[in-house]
């Protein structure tokens, strides 16, 4: 596939048209050039060879090149420039704070990843996730080497987590239980290190899942 065809293919997937959006021409060209005009059927090995992605030594995580990450995040931002609550993914601490504390999220949100060390205090209502019916990934992480920072609080508990959830990680989860209506049938990863949780869910709901819960003092 030549450069022009590769650029058109990239633009169709990134912007929904055959040419880059105004203001993103150079960034789009750089992405295509760096990828070596890759086609849609390129495999993981080719991506590794081109250093577009890397896989951790344990094989559990895939990291992408900064340029690809930058482009991907811009594509998500374009989903709704003015309202982050209508985007499929949220990772910016300020935007996550705004969406969750003001209940702006809706069915468009599929993933939320928050570095809790980047916010001082976030007080959530019990229905903070109620309208996010397609939420598949929820990760509240504390990126500290020797201390768990939990800056997210639920003073009135948590009433709703939808059954669409597949990946659930919450470092230092503050409550002793999950919502009584929580359905874990689709979960494949569940992690709550240094949490207060004592009870997960009723009955046997899990088909295949990796569970990690640690409750001892992290210091």
Whether residue 182 contacts residue 161, with contact meaning beta carbons closer than 8 Å, is answered with yes
Integer CA distances (angstroms), 176 to 95, 173, 212, 215, in order: 27, 8, 15, 11
CA-to-CA distance for 187 and 200, rounded, in angstroms? 13
Residue 193 lies in a domain: yes
Which region holds residue 157: left if phi is over 0, alpha if psi is between -120 and 50, else beta?
left
For the chain, how many structural domains are there in total? 1
Residue 86 lies in a domain: yes
Give the mean pLDDT of 80-89.
93
pLDDT band at 123 (very low <50, low <70, confident <90, very high): very high
* DSSP 8-state secondary structure symbol assigned to residue 209: -
Residue 57 lies in a domain: no
CA-to-CA distance for 156 and 57, rounded, in angstroms? 41
Residue 55 lies in a domain: no
Supply the pLDDT for residue 41: 46
Residue 159 lies in a domain: yes
Residue 87 lies in a domain: yes
Q: Taking 60 as the threshold, does the pLDDT of residue 64 lie above it?
A: yes
Domain that holds residue 155: 79-214
Q: Taking 50 as the threshold, does the pLDDT of residue 12 lie above it?
A: yes
Q: For residue range 157-212, what is the model confidence (pLDDT) as tens digits?
A: 999 888 899 999 999 899 988 888 888 788 888 888 888 888 777 655 555 455 66
Q: Taking 70 as the threshold, does the pLDDT of residue 30 lie above it?
A: yes
> What is the CA 151 to chain-centroid distance, rounded?
18
Supply the pLDDT for residue 218: 42
Q: For residue range 129-165, what is the model confidence (pLDDT) as tens digits?
A: 999 999 999 999 987 765 667 789 999 999 988 889 9
Under DSSP, is residue 76 helix (H, G, I), strand (E, B) or coil? helix
Residue 56 lies in a domain: no
Q: Taking 70 as the threshold, does the pLDDT of residue 21 lie above it?
A: yes
Provide the token pair at 25. 């021409």
pTM of the predicted model over 0.85: no
Q: Taking 60 as the threshold, does the pLDDT of residue 6 lie above it?
A: yes
Residue 71 lies in a domain: no
């Amino acid at each position: 596939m030549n450069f022009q065809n590769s650029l058109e293919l990239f633009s169709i997937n990134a912007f929904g048209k055959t040419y880059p959006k105004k203001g993103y021409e150079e960034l789009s060209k750089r992405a295509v050039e760096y990828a070596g005009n890759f086609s849609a059927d390129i495999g993981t090995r080719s991506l590794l060879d081109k250093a577009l992605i890397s896989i951790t030594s344990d094989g559990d995580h895939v990291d992408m090149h900064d340029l690809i990450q930058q482009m991907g995040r811009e594509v998500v931002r374009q989903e709704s420039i003015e309202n982050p609550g209508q985007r499929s993914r949220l990772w910016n601490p300020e935007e996550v704070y705004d969406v969750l504390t003001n209940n702006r999220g809706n069915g468009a949100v599929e993933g939320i990843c928050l570095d809790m060390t980047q916010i001082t205090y976030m007080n959530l209502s019990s229905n903070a996730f109620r309208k996010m019916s397609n939420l598949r990934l929820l990760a509240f992480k504390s990126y500290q080497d020797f201390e768990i920072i939990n800056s997210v609080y639920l003073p009135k508990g948590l009433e709703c987590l939808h059954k669409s959830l597949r990946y659930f990680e919450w470092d230092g989860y503050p409550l002793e239980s999950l919502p009584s209506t929580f359905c874990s049938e689709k979960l494949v990863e569940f992690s709550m290190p240094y949490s207060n949780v004592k009870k997960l869910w009723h009955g046997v709901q899990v088909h295949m899942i990796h569970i990690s819960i640690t409750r001892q003092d992290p210091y």
